[in-house]
Amino acid sequence: MTPLFLFGTNFKMNQTPAESAAFYEQLAGSVVQPPGVRLFIIPPFTSLAAVAAVAHKEPHERDIWVGAQNVHWESAGAFTGEISATMLRALEVDLVLLGHAERRRDFHETDVDLNKKVRSVLDNELRALLAVGETAEERSFGVSAETVARQLKIGLHGVAPHELTRLQIAYEPVWSIGAGGTPARPEDVAPVAGSIRRVLHELFGEAGCQVPILYGGSVDATNAGSFTALPDIDGLFVGRAAWTVEGFIATVNAGLAGCG
């Protein structure tokens, strides 16, 4: 069954392997996940082996999913600096983040590129966390819904309904993420999240209604509950507010209070 609520964080280009492993161990020892709740962390590539080693030993038993920040669509080859889904599977990684706004902006990743990455991740029986979201300019022109619809329809092209149990969507409005982002209000998020849900239903029928939609964008313990209270939001994908174990747990608790 799809978890009712998902909460995770992406460390970006931060933390050493020892720091990431210590974070996982402290978090796993400090939090009790209620039924239907799943937590995850996405450390840098250099930390994956160290975190996976902690995640796979007693008493944790993979309580918290471990994710990777990116992947190449090919399984092997002359792609210097890249990591394949085959390699991630060998590390027993649980999920892969795809389409983060920083990679779309700085590395010019297209929706077609991301579709190939989604395909590779699913073919290797990993979970795909596909990030979508509109820029400030797109928002100003009133095409937020059209933007995320395009990203979803291209990014998920060829995905079959039976694969949806390994798919999550993160809605991250580009204008709201990062240190200089403008905090979004629930009334900003609700219509776009609803559009995402409608596109998933259009693509996959009723199965699309079971795909978790996470919200990410200037989220912390003070506003988490206002987003999880929205009908089309099934969890949170948080940035720097969750980079300490205390901040992570505080935001989880606030989010759970909102969706309860």
Q: What are the tens digits of pLDDT across the range 208-241?
A: 999 999 999 989 999 999 999 999 999 999 999 9
CATH of the domain at 47: 3.20.20.70
Catalytic residue among 134, 138, 163, 172: 172
**Model confidence at 60, in pLDDT bands (50, 70, 90)?**
low
User: Whole-angstrom Cα distance, residue 218 to residue 235?
Assistant: 14
Residue that the structure tokens 């979004």 belong to: 184
Is 172 among the residues known to form the active site?
yes
CB 80 within 8 A of CB 37: no
Catalytic residue among 72, 100, 138, 163: 100
Domain that holds residue 131: 5-259
**Model confidence at 59, in pLDDT bands (50, 70, 90)?**
low
Domain count, the chain: 1
User: Whole-angstrom Cα distance, residue 69 to residue 189?
Assistant: 24
Is 157 among the residues known to form the active site?
no
| % of the chain beyond a pLDDT of 90 | 88
Q: What is the pLDDT of residues 195-210, one digit of tens each?
A: 999 999 999 999 999 9
The sign of the torsion formed by the CA atoms of 246, 251, 252, 257 equals: positive
Which pLDDT does position 56 carry in this prediction? Answer: 86
Q: Model's pTM, two decimal places?
A: 0.96
Mean pLDDT of the chain: 95
The residue length of the chain stands at 260
Non-local (6+) Cβ contacts of 12 within 8 A are: 44, 69, 102, 239
CB 72 within 8 A of CB 117: yes
**Model confidence at 34, in pLDDT bands (50, 70, 90)?**
confident
| Planar angle of CA 112, 184, 3, nearest 5 degrees | 65
Closest C-alpha to 38, from 17, 64, 58, 13: 64
